[in-house]
Amino acid sequence: MAGDLEKFFEPKSVVVIGASATPHKPGNDVIQNILANEYPGGLYLVNPKGGEILGMKVHRSVQELPEGIDLAIVILPAHANPQAIRECAARGIKAIVLAAGGFAEVDNKGETLQEDLLSTIRETGVRVIGPNTSGHTSVPHHFTSSFFPLGKIPRGNISYIGQTGNFATHTMRYIMSGEHFGVARFVGLGNKLDVDESEILDYYAGDPETKAVFIYLESFKRPKRFLEIAREVTRVKPVILLKGGSTAEGARAAVAHTAALASDDRITDGALKTAGITRIYKYSHLFLAAKAIAAMPFPRGNRVSFLAPSGAMLVVLTDLCRRDLGLSVPDLEEPARKRLQDISPPYIRMRNPVDIWPSAVVNGVEYGYREGMEAVLRDPNIDAVVPILMLTDETGVPSLDFIVELADRYPEKPIYVTFSADRKHMDAAKAYLEPKGVPTFPLIEEPFEVLSILDRCRRAMERP
């Protein structure tokens, strides 16, 4: 079944039906995105007005196109979609992305129109993503069907499935501008009349470009098939899912969004666990956990050490790890504990978690954090390390090269950096560290939440 999707992810030729010469209209932005990503295949445009757009010839109708184009992006009003599908099928175009909304997610009239659209899809035998989608992207093949202004999309190893257009629109813009990781594929399913989450997950399972799969869904089109595929995929690749509509109010919102009918959340939760899917509950984790997976190895266990400039942080974060996140904050072995004691004033008794600030005051911020981090990274009782950096002009802002060097020296143990104090230095540290492969998190709870997610992924992949 996954082989049916090749023309979506590796199209050799594409046509935009509803192409526009007007900047920032969807029919223009999609062309700009395709060009910005340096798509190497044939690109055709259709608009009844003809002429040229961005120096390319515009065909007046689908009938004027050469036969055998792989993929059509249809940006037309909802009522025009069934006829567009028939015309595409007649020209041998078998893969179609339907951008228009206005179907079953809107009202009874839209529901009737959606039924007509579904009949047309079945009659013609075409494959369709959508309707009500903002597109999909295949970065390894330099292609996107998104009509949201994106520009060139960075390549990486994270792939998304969304019953939402967010990952082809504003969330991708945030990832591109606010984070430092790239993506391999993403698909906005929309109302998923044809192509659904099961087929996309199956495709990602065999995709060498995809290291991890992140999913947002409001309903399951074929729950049994989805879980069957997930049981196999989750043994080799992490699958992380945010389920919308888990409350009564959320379920009502889901109907208005994508005509989704949500199921009993307790049943859903049990089924996902059995299939090895790691469930999350915060939207931000869809990109914070992705950033961590893209940059660092999975932690080998749930044992964490963290170094903080505040005793209160040591207390509340230990509570968070043990009470809420399933993380262990273990005792250190004697060599690590002794090294921490050696670099600290005698009035403080060193242990895990690490009160690093007395050492930083006596020896300098860089020395204290560097030696403290190396001590716990060496400890066989520790699987991951979180330094909480206090950065101010007055206390000193160290060169952060030592963190990059430690990450290189201990590649089997993830290092997640978080901060306190001056925001300008936090932003600068993020901009410096992340392009060098060290993920950072602006809020001190976030690296621990991400470690908990990744630990659950690891256990799912290692399950009997």
- Confidence (pLDDT) at 233: 98
- Confidence (pLDDT) at 248: 60
How far is Cα 192 from Cα 132, in angstroms, rounded to an integer?
Answer: 9
Nearest by Cα to 236 from 267, 208, 199, 274: 208
Domain boundaries, the chain: 2-292, 297-461
- Confidence (pLDDT) at 260: 46
Class of domain 297-461: alpha beta
How far is Cα 221 from Cα 192, in angstroms, rounded to an integer?
Answer: 8
Q: What is the DSSP letter of 456?
A: H
pLDDT in tens, 301-343: 999 999 999 999 999 999 999 999 999 999 999 999 999 999 9
Question: Would the CATH topology of 2-292 be identical to that of 297-461?
Answer: yes
Question: Concatenated DSSP letters for 65-100?
Answer: SPTT-SEEEE-S-GGGHHHHHHHHHHTT--EEEE--
Give the CA-trace dihedral at 150, 155, 160, 161, to 10 degrees: 70
Q: Which helix (H) or strand (E) holds 392?
A: none
Domain 2-292 sits in CATH 3.40.50.261: yes
How far is Cα 290 from Cα 154, in angstroms, rounded to an integer?
Answer: 14
Residue 250 confidence (pLDDT) above 80: no
Question: Concatenated DSSP letters for 294-338?
Answer: HHSPPPSSSBEEEEES-HHHHHHHHHIIIIII--B-PPPPHHHHH
Residue 452 confidence (pLDDT) above 60: yes
The per-residue pLDDT of the chain, averaged, comes to 94
Residue 375 confidence (pLDDT) above 70: yes
pLDDT in tens, 343-367: 999 999 999 999 999 999 999 999 9
How far is Cα 302 from Cα 162, in angstroms, rounded to an integer?
Answer: 29
Could you tell me the strand order of the sheet in which 417-421 lies? Answer: 354-355, 304-308, 384-391, 417-421, 440-441
Residue found under tokens 């996140």: 325
- Residues in contact with 368: Cβ distance below 8 Å, sequence separation at least 6, in sequence order: 343, 356, 357, 359, 360, 361, 362
How far is Cα 135 from Cα 101, in angstroms, rounded to an integer?
Answer: 12
Residue 242 confidence (pLDDT) above 70: yes
Asked if 125 and 135 count as a contact pair (C-beta separation under 8 A), the reply is no
Question: Concatenated DSSP letters for 125-146?
Answer: T-EEE-SS---EEEGGGTEE--
Give the CA-trace dihedral at 199, 204, 205, 209, to 10 degrees: 160
